[in-house]
Amino acid sequence: MPRVKRGPHRRASRRKTLAQASGYFLTKSKLYRAAQEAVERGLKFAYVGRKNKKRDYRALWIVRINAACRAADISYSKLLHGLKAAGLDLNRKVLADVALHDEAAFGQLVAAAKAALEKV
């Protein structure tokens, strides 16, 4: 078994961790062990945060669509059911954008959903 000396690799690994920890408070940005724990913890929160971000945006879109629906005298669930029955396959991100920026187009979507609901 060959002998392994870890000098350059170990130094590079530690330098990378300390670089990621720059800006952390006190020893978390200076000492390797504390920095490693802080960086691992931060990366864990970042991973979870990327999942929560999707959840938060979907909730925001639903709130915006629901507010526009209430102004147009239709419930959120009936609008989505009517759009699906009308064959209009728009996701919530696009619907929220239309509801926020183009009231006339959203009104046409509501009219199409109501017409489709009457047929069903």
Q: How far apart are CA 40 and CA 24, in angstroms?
A: 13
* 59-69 pLDDT tens trace: 999 999 999 99
Rounded to two decimals, the pTM is 0.82
DSSP state of 29: G
The reply to whether 86 falls in a domain is yes
Whether pLDDT at 120 is above 90: no
Can you tell me the distance from the alpha carbon of 47 to that of 45, in angstroms, rounded to the nearest whole number?
A: 5
Is the residue at 3 inside a domain? no
Domain that includes residue 93, residue range: 11-119
Asked whether residue 4 is assigned to any structural domain, the reply reads: no
Does the residue 74 lie in any domain? yes
Single-letter residue type at 23: G
Inside any domain, residue 23? yes
Distance separating alpha carbons of residues 74 and 17, to the nearest angstrom? 54
Judge whether 83 lies within some domain. Answer: yes
| Counted domains in the chain | 1
In a domain? residue 6: no
Residue 91: give its domain's CATH number.
1.10.1900.20
Residue owning tokens 């696009």: 94
User: pLDDT digits over 70-111, tens only?
Assistant: 999 999 999 999 999 999 999 999 999 999 999 999 999 999
Question: For residues 71 and 107, is the Cβ–Cβ distance under 8 A?
Answer: no
Answer yes or no: is 77 within a domain. yes
